[in-house]
């Protein structure tokens, strides 16, 4: 979004809130100006910074507590003519002001190591921020929010350093330029036309408990292992879930075969055994995939986590309890595809609905052996997906910004746009898809996003469709069901990705399969 | 969650619809939830309560009681807005107690988040160079890397490597505009320097500590404890002992450990060190070079102040030194006034050996580093003097003979 000089001048003259000024200033500079390394500009940069120092703009910003200090307006000195407004001198002046605002806002950034608020410092801004959904802007369109910590900070420092010193991983070389990277605390997010953003912060009681971050350890429980295609439906086995084509539309649904009160016992037992195994393995994160988690199974997971917490046993700090179709309040006519996130005691932290339905195309149906059943190109997943809302959840304990993007949402707007703009440090994606190969759609999407984002991406799949496609393609062994993206490049293939195929069995008579991934290895 | 605890799938109220007055807003959102059964108000109500929590944590830093009276009035009014929707005795509901814990945890987090992490303070405590860098950056507010290096008398490349971990730990902010790098302070810089300002010994550069303290939101200062912990932590496995070239206490402890001593005793001038093994009746004494004494004495002073001991006190405080418990004490004056550090329990031989290896490796590296740098330094002085030895010796402030020896040892020739 680029604003023209006239609009910018008008916006600034009306503006009386420093974070609105940041938004307008960013929008004006965006696409017009990047701080480049032209030696001819070095003196301009130095004099701009010296002037910011001389006028003590930083102290004025704190004193003004959200208002725009007179000294800042005087220094900015908005030119009357469009030509002067598009001069390098003004760009540098404006950028220096935005940078000063960004530095001053460090006092408030709840995701950083320390905040400096004290008694009356920033009291008006803090009240505004808390009351308005953790957003800083007032009148400007879109959002101004805080940026999460760097990848190198917080819990990652140890294992990212270890990965680099192991010689197997290296930094991703920077490509391209964007204005946002020059601001450490503030994120300018342009409005998403068709999707609401919801910013949340975990309360310390529900945040990650005392998890060791020496290594990143993730456990994936595929839960569903096989696809048994029949004439009128396809069984997702083990368990009572069925994929069915809808009679009235070229769409498909996942339904429950039998009485929900009694048919889930086996699936619940499997989920429990697998979760206990993942907990014993010391995983910080447990993942269940898409469309495998009806409410009875979800309840069992909550019980298991509560039990482990009661006995003070090792357990995941965060469990993505898969997804299933669920009705939302005020949208009771058609279910959404909803993921549930649990904390280390099994309490629900938040729910995320899918924002894009899956259009299963004919070539995919053939790979899965579903073409005879679905008989339409494409066949759409029968879910509600509007109104769209994406949640971003900040963990102050770890500095993580977490997003759940269900399946297609990782590869399409508004999910991809949200990742690009919000810089989540942990993106968790439950899917029901084919094998998660390093050349597949999800992998390509993650690799692209990691060009501009220092995040960790975890994509977890169930085995039914993946195994069917693996077999169809004539491949042997197990298909990859877990795809991991990290903001480092693997030296062997220059990819920021790892795929995991190897399964292990949890103990007990049911012995459900789980996949464990550790980084660095 | 701070927003939306135990609530799911709520709509977010847009910023424009929130009433201006906090108490009224609480009333409006409470009515939406509890009377009109609109779940959309839940997240908004939580946001209002988060704002109240922020006010409480900010008031904790207020100097006068009147502000607390105002705050209590606000809380009472807010309470009234919610209490009218209560049916029966809310003390019988678990949510009443959960809510209290929720608020307490949020408050504890907010207050804790305004205090400097120990690790960051120790990082500064371990190195005078680091402290000088931070103080200078705070003074300058924002400063180019070259200018900072010049003012501190450091090479820009050395400054860059010293600053890297400080940037990683948010003790410094580094911005790159084109080819120029600028450093500026972060909130943590102020907090840590506010802590370090309480140290008893003199300050580097005579930095304006009053301003630092005023700028810091931290009230607690426990410099001696931090100094001792920093010295102890510098020998943690995998860490760089000689990163703090002023820490001589830790390597001396490693010697005591590997020689099976109970501890060490150091005279107040830092001149003589005794390694004592009382059970074996052994005592080894050696003198330290003058170049080491000053730093060691400063370190000992910090440790002595650690317990605020008076001269008659014998028992000291206990510090965990990389898994080995240590007791610090200052002996009574008539016993020679030595400062003693005793191992509590017998040190693990393997751990002692490992610590010696670490310390030795760092000493070697430091020596190599300094020799390498000395060679470049002397060569450049000679170059500047057109390789005229007398002029170069005068510039360096050494004798001609010493320069000749130096050139021979360093293999320097025109």
Both A222 and A138 in one domain: the answer is no
> What is d(CA B165, CA B134) in angstroms, rounded to the nearest whole number?
13
Q: Does some domain include residue A170?
A: no
The pLDDT value recorded for residue A234 is: 96
Is A225 in the same domain as A131?
Answer: no
Spatial distance between the Cα atoms of B114 and A108, rounded to a whole number of angstroms: 10
Identify which of A106, A130, A157 has the shortest CB distance to residue B186.
A106
Beta bridge mates, A460? A430, A482
Query: Does residue A168 sit within a domain?
Result: no
CB B258 within 8 A of CB B353: yes
- Domains, in order of start, for chain B: 15-112 (no CATH), 118-221 (1.10.10.10), 234-347 (3.30.450), 363-409 (1.10.10)
CA distance B76 to B52: 11
> Which of the four pLDDT bands, split at 50, 70 and 90, describes residue A493?
very high
Report which listed range, A42-46, A118-122, A361-365, B120-124, is most confident.
A361-365
A-B interface: how many C-beta pairs under 8 angstroms? 178
Give A169-228 pLDDT, tens digit per residue.
Answer: 998 888 888 899 899 999 999 988 789 999 999 999 998 877 777 788 999 999 999 999
Token pair in block for residue A468: 């069917």
Q: Which chain A residues have a beta carbon less than 8 Å from that of B123? A: none
DSSP code per residue over B197-256 = TT-SSPPGGG--HHHHHHH-------HHHHHHHHHHHTTSTTS-GGGSTT--HHHHHHHH
Of the pLDDT bands very low, low, confident and very high (cuts 50, 70, 90), residue A71 is very high
Question: Which tokens sit at B65?
Answer: 């009681």
A138 and A37 in a single domain? The answer is yes
Averaged confidence pLDDT in chain A: 92
Residue A168: which of A489, A509, A515, A387 has the closest Cα? A489
Please state whether B238 falls in left (phi above 0), alpha (psi between -120 and 50) or beta. left
DSSP class of residue A150?
P
Whole-number Cα distances in Å, B37 to A332, A336, B33, B80, B81: 16, 22, 5, 19, 16
Is B19 in a helix, a strand, or coil?
coil
Residue A9 domain boundaries: 5-144
Residue of chain B whose Cα is closest to the Cα of A331: B9
Q: Are residues A277 and A365 in the same domain?
A: yes
| Top-confidence residue, A444 or B168 | A444
Binary contact (A348, B6; C-beta < 8 A): yes
A104 and A248, same structural domain? no
Domain assignment present for residue A194? The answer is no
Question: Is the domain of A372 the same as that of A486?
Answer: yes
The pairing of beta strand A426-431 with beta strand A400-404? parallel
The answer on A269 and A418 residing in a single domain is yes
**How far is A41 from B277, CA to CA, in rounded Å?**
67
CATH code of the domain containing A342: 3.60.110.10
Q: A291-295, A347-351, B395-399: which range is least confident on average?
A: B395-399
Identify each DSSP E strand in A47-185 by its residue range: 143-146, 169-171
At residue B323, the pLDDT reads: 65
- Tell me if A339 sits within 8 A of A323, measured CB to CB: yes
Question: Is there a contact between A53 and B141 if contact means CB atoms under 8 Å apart?
Answer: yes
Name the residue in chain B with its Cα closest to that of A353. B9
Q: Please tell me the distance from the alpha carbon of residue A431 to that of residue A337, in angstroms, as a whole number.
A: 11
Residues A228 and A361 in one domain: yes
> CB neighbours of B129 closer than 8 A, spacing ≥ 6?
B152, B154, B162
Instruction: Give residue for tokens 């031989």.
Output: B349
A196 token code pair: 């609401």
Search chain B and give the residue with CA nearest A141.
Answer: B15
Over its C-alpha atoms, chain A yields an Rg (Å, rounded) of 25
pLDDT of A125 above 50: yes
Is A386 inside any structural domain?
A: yes
- Residue A263: closest CA among A229, A282, A284, A237: A237
Kindly report the length of chain B.
414
> With contact defined as beta carbons under 8 Å apart, do A238 and A266 qualify?
yes
Alpha-carbon distance A236 to A243, whole Å? 7
Chain B residues 192-221 with a CB less than 8 Å from chain A: 215-217
Quick check: A290 contacting B, CB < 8 Å? no
**Same structural domain, A384 and A465:** yes
Is residue A131, in this structure, part of any structural domain at all?
yes
**Of A144, A168, A185, which residue is a domain's last?**
A144
Of A49, A116, A347, the CB nearest to B114: A116
Question: Which residues in chain B (13-52) have CB-CB distances under 8 A to chain A?
Answer: 13, 15, 18, 22, 25, 39, 43, 47-48, 50-51
Pair A52, A97: CB distance under 8 Å: yes
Beta pairing, strands A359-360 & B272-277 = unpaired
Classify strands A348-353 and A359-360 as parallel, antiparallel or unpaired.
unpaired
From first to last of the 414 residues of chain B, give the pLDDT tens digit. Answer: 444 333 333 333 344 455 678 999 999 999 988 888 877 788 899 999 999 999 999 998 888 888 899 999 999 999 999 999 988 888 898 999 999 999 999 999 999 999 888 888 988 988 888 999 999 999 998 899 999 999 999 888 889 989 988 998 899 999 987 778 899 999 999 999 988 865 433 333 333 333 343 344 343 334 445 555 555 554 444 443 333 556 788 788 888 888 888 888 888 888 889 888 887 888 888 988 888 887 777 777 666 655 443 434 444 456 666 667 777 776 654 455 778 888 888 888 777 787 787 778 777 777 787 888 888 889 988 988 899 999 999 889 899 999 999 999 888 988
Q: Is residue A157 part of a domain?
A: no
3-state secondary structure of B9: coil
Tell me which of A144, A163, A188 is where a domain ends: A144
Mean pLDDT confidence for A410-425:
93
Asked if residue A205 belongs to a domain, the reply is: no
Query: How many domains does chain A contain in total?
Result: 2
Residue B32 is classified by DSSP as I
pLDDT at B201: 32
Q: Is the domain of A327 the same as that of A473?
A: yes
Scanning every residue of chain B, which has its alpha carbon at the shortest distance from the alpha carbon of A109? B187
Smallest CA–CA separation between A435 and chain B, in Å? 31
Tell me the backbone φ, ψ of residue B87, rounded to 5 degrees: -115, 135
- Give me the pLDDT at residue B136, please: 95
- A127-151 confidence digits (pLDDT tens): 999 999 999 999 999 999 999 877 6
* Residues of A (175-234) whose Cβ lies below 8 Å from B: 182, 184, 196, 198-206
Chain B residues near residue A138 by CB distance under 8 angstroms: 15
Position A438 in a domain: yes
* pLDDT > 70 fraction of chain A, expressed in percent and rounded: 99
Q: Could you say which of A103, A114, A198 has the minimum Cβ distance to residue B188?
A: A114
Report the alpha-carbon distance of residue A437 to residue A482 in Å, rounded.
9
| Last residue within a domain, chosen from A144, A175, A192 | A144
ipTM over 0.95: no
Distance CA B274, CA B287 (A): 9
Q: What is the dihedral of CA A44, A45, A47, A53, to 10 degrees?
A: 160
Q: Are residues A284 and A417 in the same domain?
A: yes
B residues 92-111 closer than 8 Å to A (CB): 101-102, 105-106, 108-109
Contact B42, B33 (CB under 8 A): yes
Quote the crossing angle between the two packed helices B145-152 and B156-168, to the nearest 10°.
110
Residues in B closer than 8 angstroms to A58, CB to CB, are 141
């Amino acid at each position: 979004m680029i604003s023209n000089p006239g609009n910018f001048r008008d916006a600034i003259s009306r503006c009386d809130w420093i974070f609105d000024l940041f938004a307008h200033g960013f929008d004006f500079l965006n696409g017009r100006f990047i701080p480049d390394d032209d030696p001819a500009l070095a003196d301009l940069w130095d004099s701009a910074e010296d002037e910011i120092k001389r006028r003590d703009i930083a102290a004025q910003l704190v004193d003004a507590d959200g208002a725009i200090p007179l000294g800042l307006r005087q220094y900015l000195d908005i030119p009357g003519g469009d030509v002067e407004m598009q001069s390098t001198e003004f760009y540098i002046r404006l950028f220096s002001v935005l940078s000063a605002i960004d530095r001053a806002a460090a006092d408030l950034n709840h995701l950083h190591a320390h905040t400096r608020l004290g008694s009356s410092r920033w009291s008006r801004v803090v009240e505004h921020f808390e009351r308005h959904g953790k957003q800083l802007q007032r009148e400007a369109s879109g959002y101004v929010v805080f940026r999460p910590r760097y990848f190198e900070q917080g819990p990652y420092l140890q294992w990212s350093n270890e990965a680099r010193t192991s010689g197997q991983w290296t930094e991703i070389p920077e490509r391209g330029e964007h204005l946002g990277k020059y601001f450490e605390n503030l994120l300018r997010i342009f409005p998403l036309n068709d999707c609401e953003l919801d910013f949340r912060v975990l309360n310390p009681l529900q945040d990650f408990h005392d998890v060791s971050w020496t290594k990143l350890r993730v456990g994936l429980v595929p839960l569903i292992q096989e696809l048994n295609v029949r004439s009128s439906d396809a069984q997702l086995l083990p368990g009572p879930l069925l994929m069915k084509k809808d009679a009235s539309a070229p769409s498909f649904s996942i339904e429950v075969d039998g009485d929900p009160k009694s048919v889930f016992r086996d699936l619940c037992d499997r989920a429990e055994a697998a979760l206990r195994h993942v907990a014993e393995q010391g995983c910080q994160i447990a993942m269940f995939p898409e469309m495998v988690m009806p409410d009875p199974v979800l309840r069992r997971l909550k019980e298991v986590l509560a039990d482990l917490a009661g006995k003070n046993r090792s357990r995941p700090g965060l469990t993505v309890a898969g997804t299933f179709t669920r009705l939302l309040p005020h949208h009771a006519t058609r279910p959404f595809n909803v993921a549930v996130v649990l904390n280390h005691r099994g309490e629900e932290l938040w729910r995320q609905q899918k924002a894009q339905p899956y259009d299963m195309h004919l070539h995919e149906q053939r790979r899965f052996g579903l073409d005879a059943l679905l008989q339409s190109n494409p066949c759409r997943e029968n879910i509600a997906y509007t109104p769209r809302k994406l949640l971003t959840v900040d963990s102050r304990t770890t500095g993580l910004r977490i997003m759940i993007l269900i399946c297609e949402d990782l590869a399409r707007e508004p999910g991809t746009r949200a990742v690009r703009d919000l810089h989540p440090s942990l993106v968790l994606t439950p899917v029901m898809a084919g094998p998660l190969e390093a050349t597949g759609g999800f992998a390509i999407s993650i690799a692209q996003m990691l060009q501009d984002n220092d995040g960790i991406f975890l994509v977890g799949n169930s085995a039914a469709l993946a195994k069917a496609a693996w077999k169809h393609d004539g491949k042997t062994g197990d298909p990859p069901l877990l795809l991991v993206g990290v903001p480092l490049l693997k030296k062997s293939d220059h990819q920021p990705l790892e795929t995991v195929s190897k399964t292990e069995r949890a103990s007990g008579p049911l012995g459900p399969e789980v996949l464990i991934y550790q980084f660095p290895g | 969650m701070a927003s939306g605890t135990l609530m799911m799938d709520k709509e977010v109220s847009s910023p424009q619809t929130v009433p201006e007055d906090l108490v009224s807003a609480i009333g409006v959102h409470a009515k939406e939830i509890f009377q009109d059964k609109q779940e959309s108000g839940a997240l908004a109500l939580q946001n209002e309560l988060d704002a109240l929590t922020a006010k409480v944590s900010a008031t904790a830093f207020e100097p006068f009681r009147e502000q607390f009276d105002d705050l209590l009035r606000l809380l009472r009014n807010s309470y009234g807005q919610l209490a009218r929707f209560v049916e029966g005795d809310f003390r019988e509901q678990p949510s009443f107690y959960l809510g209290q814990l929720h608020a307490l945890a949020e408050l504890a987090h907010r207050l804790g988040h305004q205090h400097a992490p120990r690790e960051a303070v120790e990082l500064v405590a371990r190195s005078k160079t680091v402290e000088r860098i931070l103080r200078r950056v705070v003074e300058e507010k924002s400063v180019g890397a070259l200018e900072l290096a010049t003012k501190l008398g450091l090479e820009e490349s050395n400054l860059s490597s010293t600053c890297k971990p400080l940037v990683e730990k948010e003790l410094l902010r580094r911005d790159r505009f084109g080819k120029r790098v600028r450093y500026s302070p972060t909130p943590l810089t102020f907090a840590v320097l506010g802590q370090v300002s309480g140290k008893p010994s003199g300050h580097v550069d005579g930095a304006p500590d009053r301003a630092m303290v005023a700028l810091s939101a931290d009230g607690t200062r426990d410099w001696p404890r931090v100094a001792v912990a920093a010295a102890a932590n510098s020998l943690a496995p995998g860490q760089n002992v000689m990163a703090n070239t002023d820490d001589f206490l830790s390597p001396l402890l490693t010697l005591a450990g590997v020689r099976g001593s109970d501890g060490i005793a150091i005279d107040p001038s830092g001149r003589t060190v005794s390694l004592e093994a009382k059970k074996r009746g052994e005592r080894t004494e050696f003198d330290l070079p003058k170049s080491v004494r000053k730093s060691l004495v400063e370190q000992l002073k910090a440790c002595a102040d650690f317990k605020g001991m008076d001269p008659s006190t014998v028992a000291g405080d206990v510090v965990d030194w990389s898994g080995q418990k240590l007791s610090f004490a200052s002996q009574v004056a008539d016993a020679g006034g030595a400062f003693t550090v005793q191992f509590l329990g017998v040190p693990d031989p393997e751990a002692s050996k490992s610590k010696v290896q670490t310390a030795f490796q760092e000493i070697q590296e430091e020596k190599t580093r300094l020799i390498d740098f000395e060679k470049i330094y002397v060569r450049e002085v000679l170059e500047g003097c057109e390789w005229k030895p007398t002029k170069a010796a005068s510039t360096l402030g050494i004798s001609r003979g010493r320069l000749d020896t130096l050139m021979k040892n360093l293999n320097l020739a025109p």
